[in-house]
Structure 1
């Protein structure tokens, strides 16, 4: 009898200990998910790491796609989370005989041309871009439109004067970013997403927005023609005809239908 009591007590003790460990482990994991801790970079992740120094993989005929830039590059507004970048990869996979690999989406909400220049100095970002042979780039809208503040906050409406003032500096920084991209990856096809006017159906904002976006797209188109293996994908006409059909609820980013149409344009240019 005593031996049975001893076994029962031991089993109960072990069971309680296991439960405590499980609860502790779950709590720790949840804390890491909800409140992730910043950890010092290890020797394998800093600027001197072998990863940052590796040469890109040898060309094997596959599409190796990476996206970088602002919230449009990220796919904000698409309820499916795919955006135009992953939709481009999916369309290519369906329509091309080549293998398609989507490497990474490096898009960041709110990114400006100045912030893009800083991002292009990061070793991890540079490694992904080295591996790609198609780089999808969306940038400039936050410089010109302050991320849609004109519509969403009622301040900073895109007047002709404000857009005219923002254009030269934004264009200069974009040129520097394109130069950095070419330094990182001399041979990849760089596909720049042309801007559209998200305020085209708002009479008080239409004229200035149209003028600013048209001038910007023309300037970027010239830069892309000067570069090697660069392509501008136009989007202005898509959103000009029926913005309500292709814009998300925030009236600034595309919705799933808008991103799908953009992806179709990108694929047309790549093939």
Structure 2
């Protein structure tokens, strides 16, 4: 039996920053799942650099994507980084902290809707799958407001957890204090080591009901 892995998201799911011919976290995680569960894994990615959470949510309405999600045993989602960058731009111009709160609640709502949509696609019968939401790390540790906003968003995202199916992966903790080592030359995206650390953090979350099926 081959496990199906669907990766949804933005540039992190694409693997931007990892270097030429180097895999991002998605391919690395796929390999770890294969090693740990002794199963082949078939990977499908629906991701594009620059996507905001509303656009990732929209992807779940596409018939081909629905078809893949319905069959998926493992789903990972990255998002909200671009919503944050847009908020920072607005903040630079307007100096109004409220833009961060708006973006945070907007992202959380979109994540909540993504989970609802996936449940709807899956149907109540199919309980044997895992969803892993990767929270935000802070590529701007020198901007105090950014850290405040990101930790606030991460707290809210954590509320969407419902183990063992849905778990939030603490990417923030992976990068905290290790930005120089784990971020690529653009200082925003992870480098190869950063993506490996993300994949390892995903692995640590275990495989929930999939473990019992093998």
Whether these two folds match at TM > 0.5 is: yes
In structure 1, the partner of 2:56 is: 116
Residues 138 and 147 in structure 2, CA contact (< 8 A), matched pair in contact too: yes
| Matched residue, 2:132 | 191
Contact 1:160 1:211 in 2 (8 A): no
Q: What SS does the aligned partner of 2:185 have? A: coil
Runs of 5+ in structure 1 lacking a partner?
1-59
Report what 2:206 is aligned to. Answer: 270
SS of the residue aligned with 1:270? coil
Q: Which is helix-richer, 1 or 2?
A: 1
Secondary structure in 1 matching 2:205:
helix
Q: TM-score, normalised by structure 1?
A: 0.68
Q: Distance between the aligned counterparts of 1:125 and 1:65, measured in 2?
A: 12
Change (3 A) 1:93 1:156: farther
Q: Output the CA distance in 2 between the equivalents of 1:100 and 1:158.
A: 50
Unaligned runs of 5+ in 2: 208-214
Equivalent residue for 1:243?
A: 179
C-alpha displacement of 1:93: 2.5
Within 2, Cα distance between the matches of 1:233 and 1:192?
A: 6
Say which one has the larger Rg.
1
Relative to 1, partners in 2 of residues 1:63 and 1:117: Cα closer, same or farther, differing over 3 Å?
same
Q: Distance in 1 between matches of 2:11 and 2:37?
A: 30
Higher relative contact order (CA 8 A, sep 6+): 2
Map of 2:188 onto structure 1:
252
Aligned CA-pair RMSD: 2.3
The alpha-carbon distance between structure 1 residues 263 and 159, as it changes in their structure 2 partners (threshold 3 A), is farther
- Asked whether the equivalents of residues 66 and 105 of structure 1 are also in contact (C-alpha less than 8 Å), the reply is yes
Moved over 3 A (4+): 154-161
Residues in 2 aligned to 1:228 and 1:92: alpha-carbon distance in whole angstroms: 16
Q: Does the Cα contact within 8 Å between 1:159 and 1:209 map onto a contact in 2?
A: no
The alpha carbon displacement at 1:103 in A equals 2.2
User: After superposition, where does 1:17-36 map in structure 2 within 5 Å?
Assistant: none
**Aligned equivalents of 1:134 and 1:158: distance in 2?**
41
* 1:229 and 2:165 aligned: yes
Count of matched residue positions in the alignment of Structure 1 and Structure 2: 201
